[in-house]
Structure 1
Amino acid sequence: MRTSVRGRRQVTLPESVAKVLGVTEGDDLEFTVDEGGTVTVRGWTSIPTDQRWFWTPEWQAGEAEADQQIANGETSKGFTSAAEMLADIDNEDE
């Protein structure tokens, strides 16, 4: 695929490239250049600092574990309210 550089060094990404990068209008791109001059482009999403805890390796490992438990059908408890759920969590510590 090819595209042209317009004024102010602007380019339009082909739709298939934008889809692979997972970007839409207003998103950021990150460019890296290796020693051989090869340029790598990837979509970039900034995370607000008050939400970065969710993206720590430890938290993401927990998310992956929960996803696997759900996929394995290991979620037999059903709760009718948040209070009921929290009471169950408190009882697990005993």
Structure 2
Amino acid sequence: MPAVKLGVSRQVAIPKKIHDALGLAPGDYLEVELKAGKVVLTPKALVDKEIERRLAEGLEDIKKGRGIGPFSSAKEAIRALHQEAKKLKKE
């Protein structure tokens, strides 16, 4: 088990082998807990990161013309979605 040194500002470097095994990247978050006198670090995916990924995916869809609308009402949107579903079933 590798040993790490605590820095002046309480920072700890995660050994590369562990970092890579967990798939960590700069800017990722870790939950820090104290359990039975031990520090436990657990990778955490925050909602903000997931929202950014989904927004980027949605914008890419719009750029590539993979979208329908705009609609003036919810009924109109639902009708269009049903029509799209029928088209996909035929394909």
Q: Scaled by the length of structure 1, what TM-score is found? A: 0.47
Q: Which has the larger radius of gyration?
A: 2
Q: Scaled by the length of structure 2, what TM-score is found? A: 0.48
